[in-house]
Amino acid sequence: MVDVATLAGVSLKTVSRVVNNTPNVQPELVERVLAAVAELGFRRNHLASSLRSGQTTATIGLLIEEIANPFYAAIAGAAAEVARRHDTMLIIASSEEDPAREQQLLRDMCARRVDGLLVVPAGHDHSFLRAEVELGTPMVFLDRPPGGVLADTVLLDNRGGARAGVGRLVEAGHRRIAILLDSIGVYTMRERLDGAQDALAPTGAPYDTRLVREGIRDPAAASRVVAELLDQPDPPTAFFSMNNRITLGVVEELCRRGSDAALVGFDDFDLARLMPYPLTVIAYDTRELARTAAELLFRRIEGDRSWPRTVVLPTELVERGVPPR
Amino acid sequence: MVDVATLAGVSLKTVSRVVNNTPNVQPELVERVLAAVAELGFRRNHLASSLRSGQTTATIGLLIEEIANPFYAAIAGAAAEVARRHDTMLIIASSEEDPAREQQLLRDMCARRVDGLLVVPAGHDHSFLRAEVELGTPMVFLDRPPGGVLADTVLLDNRGGARAGVGRLVEAGHRRIAILLDSIGVYTMRERLDGAQDALAPTGAPYDTRLVREGIRDPAAASRVVAELLDQPDPPTAFFSMNNRITLGVVEELCRRGSDAALVGFDDFDLARLMPYPLTVIAYDTRELARTAAELLFRRIEGDRSWPRTVVLPTELVERGVPPR
DNA sequence: ATGAAAGCGCTAACAG
DNA sequence: CTGTTAGCGCTTTCAT
């Protein structure tokens, strides 16, 4: 900047004014400065400017589990769009579901003085962020609630969605309904399981724990569990899958066998219409989830100091056919 | 840091040493400093440290078209993984295929003094980056070559892949092969078209421009084009689709009609096995593309000053059946 | 409307 | 092993 000022024959401060589009600079000087900027290939150092001015880095951080996963990619896309409207850059980091890594990444983002944080929690204890929150760094949690810190949270109606999905199977006459889920350690899975039980309770059907299978991490595992369940003496007549990876494996195995068991899955599919199986699902708007969270965050960044709130977004039962019992 | 130093009764510099894990500090002092850090909730300002030390911000920028797109999400995932291994944060920005926006974003990233840039080009002229390159900011282009600037580039063998795909259709006896593509303005599409023509040329079949359809932006448009082509007096017996959005629309329309036309598509699908149609595709390793680019970038960041190179990654014909003519 | 001086929070260079 | 001093590139404050 000193070089530019020298070349343009003005003071350093005038260069700063021109570079920042401050009004009240003589057009002639503006031109001279701009010429010098071009000639020297000057590029403003954003770090230095936000170091001195102190308030904003025009950057927010997004912490997710894994960017290659379509769910998180959708979140990142919606967050990026909102960030863009606020002329803000987005730092994206993946926790890989590792709480230690989550903590390290969040600390690092804070050290970079992001203006705010959008977090899909991996761990259950976020009290280490309390100091940061008190220091005034806004943060919004999404998809899962934080632990040990009071902050804005945007969630899906997991319980209501699962209740509706299993309810639909009950309505179709099913009583032996297998429930397939990933780790019970994850908040969303616990909520969905509660919802499933809400729907099952009024039927008076005995709650058969052998029909609830936990720890299914991928489609292949889901296929194996389905095979095992169908080979039992008293097989289930319907399946409730708690995420789309599992649903995929269930579809594969049901098709392989030409089974007429019913299936309802949590999470919608891009290609559901082309599936060789009527796929009724519980859908929700992932982008809306992220958009809501990001907009809440920017409201905070712009100075909103109201009490933290929790927003719950609805889910929708997308009916594509449910074979009766 | 001054406060921490005062509280711990040491100099500012000692605090700096402790915070940076510099060896050769008395354990006792380390402890006192750490206690003060904890008590005051001190968090090192990463911006200030990289402003002064000047060399590295431990940040790289990734410019893509749109993060929610699975192709770019895969790229982002692989890049994030390499960045992570180098303890580097990733700023991701989406150009939305707008060259003006691309330029603005890249300039902004440079202003933030990223250590390097990973770019999937949207525009055709990147000469505005030349000053930046000369100033020593490493950058690697991927999926498409840059224009007007010499830099490392990692590409797929688009031409070879298309040649193999269309070649497979020719081998199955097809001569009237419809070719469906997105915008001809995109490098990858032009390359793939060249490859298709490579395969068609030796057959001596007249090159029928009515069978080459450009400007297909989404599955619905692809379905419409397929319908139109099949309703012609002399319909094609095979389709070559140049990306997976198009392939999807082709599959839908072929299924709807129960057509036995052959189909080969560029880009693989997650759910190809479950498709109601034998889907032979040209596959490639998207993550490998990004990994290669990111590793090249870090080699540059670490000081490699060798002449820029271009790497071309192979594609693979994944055979899932091709109906003969 | 323009400029001079101070300083953001940190690290480099050099002493002690 | 520890401290002092200067200064990264910019913006703020206050003068002119």
**How many Å apart are B39 CA and D13 C1'?**
33
Any domain includes B254: yes
Distance from CA of B199 to the nearest CA of A (A): 31
Mark residues 33-52 of chain A whose C-beta is closer than 7 A to nucleic acid strand D: 43-45, 48-49, 51-52
Write the pLDDT tens digit of every residue in B19-67.
Answer: 888 888 888 888 989 999 989 888 899 999 999 987 799 999 999 999 9
Clarify whether residues A300 and A151 are in a common domain: yes
Could you list the residue range(s) of the whole structural domain that residue B117 is in?
57-155+286-313
pLDDT at B123 over 80: yes
Contacts of A294 in chain B (CB under 8 A): none
Would the CB atoms of A51 and B50 count as touching at under 8 Å?
no
| Residue A1 CB lies within 7 Å of the nucleic strand C | no
Lowest mean pLDDT across A18-22, A59-63, B154-158, B187-191: A18-22
Clarify whether residues B266 and B184 are in a common domain: yes
Higher pLDDT, B159 or A321: B159
Q: Provide mean pLDDT across the span A56-65.
A: 96
Any domain includes B128: yes
Nearest alpha-carbon partner for A63 in A161, A165, A156, A144: A144
Any domain includes A318: no
**For residues B153 and B311, is the Cβ–Cβ distance under 8 A?**
yes
Q: Provide mean pLDDT across the span B81-95.
A: 97
Q: How far apart are the first and last CA of chain B?
A: 77
Q: What is the pLDDT of residue B54?
A: 79
Clarify whether residues B258 and B302 are in a common domain: no
Clarify whether residues A114 and A138 are in a common domain: yes
Any domain includes A265: yes
Q: What is the pLDDT of residue A59?
A: 96
Locate A303 and state its tokens.
């100075």
Any domain includes B324: no
Q: What is the pLDDT of residue A184?
A: 93
* Least CB–CB distance from B43: residue in A68, A76, A111: A111
Tell me the β-bridge partners of A240: A179, A264
Q: What is the pLDDT of residue A21?
A: 86
User: Which residues neighbour B231 within 8 Å (Cβ) at sequence distance 6 or greater?
Assistant: none
> Cα–chain-centroid distance for residue B135?
25
Q: What is the pLDDT of residue A173?
A: 94
Clarify whether residues B11 and B99 are in a common domain: no
Query: With pLDDT > 70 as the criterion, what percentage of chain A qualifies?
Result: 100
Contacts of B108 in chain A (CB under 8 A): 46, 89
Locate B194 and state its tokens.
């060249």
Lowest mean pLDDT across A109-123, B109-123, B259-273: B259-273
Residue A120 sits in a domain whose CATH number is: 3.40.50.2300
Q: What is the pLDDT of residue B206?
A: 77
Q: Provide mean pLDDT across the span B235-253.
A: 94
**How many Å apart are B171 CA and C10 C1'?**
67
Residue A40 sits in a domain whose CATH number is: 1.10.260.40
Which contiguous run of DSSP H or E holds residue A299?
helix A286-301
Clarify whether residues A196 and A265 are in a common domain: yes
Mean model confidence pLDDT for chain A: 93
Clarify whether residues A31 and A174 are in a common domain: no
A14: nt with nearest C1' to CA? C2
Residue whose token pair is 């970079």: A112
| Residue A232 CB lies within 7 Å of the nucleic strand D | no
Any domain includes A51: no
Locate A169 and state its tokens.
């199977």
pLDDT at B213 over 80: yes
Contacts of B67 in chain A (CB under 8 A): 67, 73, 76-77, 80
How many domains are contained in chain A?
Answer: 3
What single letter denotes the amino acid at residue A288?
Answer: E
Clarify whether residues B250 and B140 are in a common domain: no
What single letter denotes the amino acid at residue B192?
Answer: R
Using DSSP, how many helices (H) and how many strands (E) does chain A show?
12, 12
**How many Å apart are B176 CA and C10 C1'?**
69
Contacts of B248 in chain A (CB under 8 A): 271, 274
Clarify whether residues A139 and A195 are in a common domain: no
Q: Which residue is nearest to nucleotide C2 (CA to C1')?
A: A14
Measured from the Cβ of residue B294, the count of other Cβ atoms closer than 10 Å reads 28
Clarify whether residues A102 and A24 are in a common domain: no
> Cα–chain-centroid distance for residue A154?
9
Clarify whether residues B245 and B301 are in a common domain: no
Q: What is the pLDDT of residue B1?
A: 86
Q: Provide mean pLDDT across the span B227-242.
A: 96
Which contiguous run of DSSP H or E holds residue A141?
strand A139-142
Would the CB atoms of A84 and B92 count as touching at under 8 Å?
no
Any domain includes B108: yes
Any domain includes B323: no
Clarify whether residues B8 and B33 are in a common domain: yes
Lowest mean pLDDT across A24-28, A319-323, B221-225: A24-28
Confidence band of B103 (pLDDT split at 50, 70, 90): very high
pLDDT at A143 over 80: yes
Q: What is the pLDDT of residue B23?
A: 80
Confidence band of A305 (pLDDT split at 50, 70, 90): very high
Mean model confidence pLDDT for chain B: 93
Higher pLDDT, A299 or A38: A299
